[in-house]
Structure 1
Amino acid sequence: MPGTIDDLIASIEVELEAAHKRSKKAGAEIQLILDKAQQDGRSALSAEEDERVAELFAARDQAKGDVTGIENKLANANKIKTEEMERQAEQRKAEPTQTRKPSYDQVARVGREERTYRKDEDPNGKNFLLDVSRQFLYQDVEAASRLSRHMQEERVERAQFLQRATNTGAFTGLVVPQYLTDMYAPATAALRPFADICNRHQLPADGMSVNISRITTASSAALQASENAAVSETNMDDTLLTIPVQTAAGQQTVSRQAIDRGQGIEDVTMQDLFNRVHTVLDSTLINQASTGLSAIAAANAYTDASPSGAELYPKILSAAAGVEAAMLAMGRPTHAVMHSRRWYWLSSQMSSTWPMINWTGIPAQSAGVANSGSSYGSGVRGVLPCGLEVIVDNNIPTGLGGGTNEDEVYVVPNSECHLWEDQDAPLMIRAEQPAAATLGVLLVAYKYFAYTFGRYPNAMQKIGGTGLVTPTF
């Protein structure tokens, strides 16, 4: 059966709002790309960025065209509603009858419907977790209804992210309400310091891999031997770089008693689940075999039985030089990523000599500057004399080397540390088979991501060896 004119107007307004959001989002991403190029000091966008900007302009123009068409539909619907209201006004002029008017709560009204899970009513996500668990444990009809309504709301407001998160057959789950991921972002970001400085991209709309082109044979140029002689020619060639989409997941077993009678369990549960997911993502970027940062970075050995900061610093510069030699005009070394123990060891080192060349803003007689009030996961911890910004990340292993007591320091251009994930972080959650013997329910949170550091050989550099054993203070 067709709905009322008010239902039609409400659905058109939802459609109009979604079109406005698409247009605004495309414009924001265009500005982000341009800001990035400006920040890097590049006079032109890369071919990949040009292509993406063209796609975004097309998407924005399409959204603007949609807005125009939807506004016309809305105007026509409002016109019909106005005519209906005029007819109803004429009908009300008739003589009143003795028919009893319907009760207030029996009259249909159209207005703004609040979200099922709201920050003002469920600030820590307790009701959301309870509904997930009770629907799984008891097949609770009301809990299932609320979760179904929540997912419908997500389809309206974050349809593109929901599609990306659920289109693979391997997993299905519930999108965590956005305000909860926003609320826990500061805490979880502390467990992904390196991931947060990567060059982030939107995860593709579908598929379980990301494909990008890597130029392996460049064109050539040379002096012409003589007039009308053949000029140098080398056909460009590229190799397809296929990057798998991976799943970062964490789990937490919640007791049935806590679900039924617990107070405040939602803080611990949500925090633990989010921490696990973001930690495994960051650790994967650094430590995964073959493709992780440690595996792909070119090695710079620092071997010394009595290491010192004065000896380590030139090795960092050597790694930075290696990055620049590999990247040339395509990028520059921007960050030194190290374990917290290495940062504090460097901070403890004393010296009576200083670099011949210091970066702007670094005091002349200083081996670097620490950001005041900085702490783990809060961003850049300090700046080395050569301008490299230091990121402290304790996902770097400390059991490397023959003595299983070494760590590594990485020097990277963050523009080439590519990470694909959904910017709005649509973490998923689902209830798995309960631990029946202990009356527990297993809650699993997960998200999808892809990454690569391999577009340019030797663009990532690392320092390792016996000079990076457990520091002595």
Structure 2
Amino acid sequence: MTTEIEMRTMRAAKATKLGQMQAILDRAKRNGTALTSADIARFDALESEVLALNEQIRAAENPPKEPHKMTDNLIRKVGGDVEQPSKASQLGFRWYAGPNKGDVYRRDNGSHSYFLDLARKDIDSTGEARKRLETNSKMRSDAEARAGISTVNGSGGEFVPPLWLEEDFISYARPGRPTANLCQKFPLPAGTDTINLPKVATGTAVAPQVTQNTGVQETDITTTSVASPVITIAGGQTVSLQLVEQSPINIDMIVLQDLAKAYAVTLNGQILSGSGASGNLTGLLTLSGTNAVTFSGTALTGSGSLYSAILKGSQLVQTGIFLPADSIIMHPRRWSWMLEQVDTLGRPIIPPRDGDNQNSIGVYEMDAAAQGYVGTIGGLRIYTDATIPTNLGAGTNQDAILVARMSENYLWESDIRAEAFQQTYAQNMSVYVRLYNYAAFQPARYPAAMSVINGTGLNLAD
């Protein structure tokens, strides 16, 4: 018979392995890259070990005392069925699993459209449209997988989108939000319009004891808090009823792609440049208390160069929070300008990674995406983001560069919500489709974790 100590050991081992699996996914998400062959092999090995532990725990419990939702949800999240999970090598790199055969709405099932059912739910005399929506919501109602977001029809007037719709929403949105992807991401708690985080204002202190039996250092800790409002980001499209009902193409996909990309760009812009007022988040470039670095030169290397400014920004982060920076974020035009720079012999100062890069200050990835991770400089990973403003400075022609420890910035997002309305558009034979999401962002935990490089030197465009 399995002892309680053995049970705790097995559960602890399972939790550790699940954490390692999640860390592999989080690292790839944070870097904006696919899983490497080593990642895939490690993930598959951990998955097999977790499933083996599951069987041991189930056998020891006999009968099980609780469902193993944590493992099952993680396996679903990274792809495949719980009983016969897909291996990571079969997944490529995806945030959510594909649809199961029993799902109401599927990519490969053209007989039912989620948006069409939303539009018809109140006028369908058979009640089939509403029934499908309610069935889909019930299938998605796993509170653990949904991180506390209610999926009950009528909780907010919305129905829960099918799983594949959320999966593709994230996929389509991802390229447009490189800075947002670098933040620490959490599910948004339900039932709040503000997220407050406690913060230590001044800490305790220690000191050598002067002599034996004398008083030790005693300094009281003082605390404060930082608050982040929960904002709504929404968008809609008016679609002809004929297109929804008669088109052989998947109209759900078309509407989704457009709204997902628009949502991504808007959220990313908020994280960078939000004003913090009038329903806006506080962005990294508008946050007070960050480290200011000025670059007014014209050279990439040498005295007073951009390279020196970047290294200074990195130093200020480490000095301010006693942890290193992990990211450099810049506009694509700035990265392009840097790649154009050559030495006195006409050789590129930043060569490709696979080229002759001895003694170089950095390298660029030859197969880099248009946005996201593109290379390194000074040992720090560089990410390009086209939503960085290019109208800064007195001449309204400057961009900015962020050198930051992005893991210190917290981003909360809810699950997407979808609605469709036909009533007010009936005279035009149209359907209005609306998607919205709630988000909160908190960069003020450690403002010194961000260095912002500004100056007239950043008006040098490609």
User: Would you say same fold, with TM above 0.5?
Assistant: yes
Aligned residue type for 1:154: R
**Matching of residue 114 in structure 1 with residue 102 in structure 2:** yes
The alignment of Structure 1 onto Structure 2 pairs a total of residues equal to 378
Gaps of 5+ in 2: 1-10, 29-52, 68-99, 277-281, 348-352
Work out the CA distance in 2 between the residues paired with 1:149 and 1:37. Answer: 32
Give CA-to-partner distance per residue, 1:250-280, whole Å, 9 cap, x none.
2222122222323323332110111122222
Distance of aligned partners of 1:372 and 1:463 in 2 relative to their CA distance in 1, 3 Å threshold: same
Instruction: Tell me the distance in 2 between the aligned counterparts of 1:140 and 1:345.
Output: 62
1:233 lines up with 2:224 in the alignment: no
Alignment of 1:426-465 (within 5 A): 426-432=415-421, 434-435=424-425, 438-465=428-455
Match of 1:154 among 140, 156, 167: 140
CA contact (8 A) 2:314 2:403 kept: yes
2:121 match: secondary structure: helix
Larger mean CA deviation between 30-39 and 315-324 belongs to 30-39
Match of 2:273 in 1: 287
After TM superposition, the structure 1 = structure 2 runs for residues 400-419 of structure 1, keeping only pairs within 5 Å, are 400-419=392-411
The answer to whether the aligner puts 1:347 opposite 2:339 as a matched pair is: yes
Q: Which of 213, 229, 245 is 1:260 aligned to? A: 245
Cα separation, 2, equivalents of 1:148 and 1:38: 36
Q: Do the aligned residues in 1 keep the contact of 2:140 with 2:163 (CA within 8 Å)?
A: no
Give the distance between the partners of 1:440 and 1:185, measured in 2 at CA: 27
More moved, 23-32 vs 190-199 = 23-32
Residues 1:298 and 2:291 aligned together = yes
Alpha carbons of structure 1 residues 242 and 389: separation in structure 2 relative to 1, 3 Å: same
Inter-partner Cα distance in structure 2 for 1:24 and 1:137: 53
Asked if 1:388 is matched to 2:380, the reply is yes
1:313 to 307, 313, 316: 307
Q: Is the 8 A contact 2:295 2:454 kept in 1?
A: yes
Once the two structures are TM-superposed, the CA of residue 343 in structure 1 deviates from its matched residue by: 1.1
C-alpha displacement of 1:427: 1.8
1:231–1:309 Cα change, 3 Å:
same
SS at 2:137 equivalent:
helix
**Structure (1/2) with the larger helix percentage:** 1
Please tell me whether the aligned partners of residues 162 and 175 of structure 1 are also in contact (alpha carbons under 8 angstroms).
Answer: no
Task: Output the TM-score relative to the length of structure 1.
Answer: 0.69
Structure 2 match to 1:246: 231
Q: Gaps (5+ residues) in structure 1?
A: 1-21, 40-59, 75-111, 355-359
Q: 2:66 & 2:362 partners in 1: Cα distance? A: 62
Paired with 2:439 and 2:14, the residues of 1 have a C-alpha distance of 20
Partner of 1:221: 206
Whether the 8 Å CA contact 2:138–2:152 is kept in 1: the answer is no
Contact residue 148 and residue 189 of structure 2 kept, 8 A: no
SS, match of residue 190 in structure 1: helix
Q: Shift in Å at residue 460 of structure 1?
A: 0.9
- The offset of 1:168, in angstroms, is 13
- Quick check: 1:399–1:405 contact (8 Å CA) kept in 2? yes
- The alpha-carbon deviation at position 370 of structure 1 amounts to 1.2
Q: Is the 8 A contact 2:143 2:150 kept in 1?
A: no
Name the TM-score, length of structure 2 as normaliser: 0.71
Equivalent-residue separation in structure 1 for 2:448 and 2:309 (angstroms)? 15
Identity score, percent = 28
| Structure with bigger gyration radius | 1
Alpha-carbon distance in structure 2 between the residues aligned to 1:348 and 1:243: 40
Q: 2: distance between equivalents of 1:388 and 1:401?
A: 26
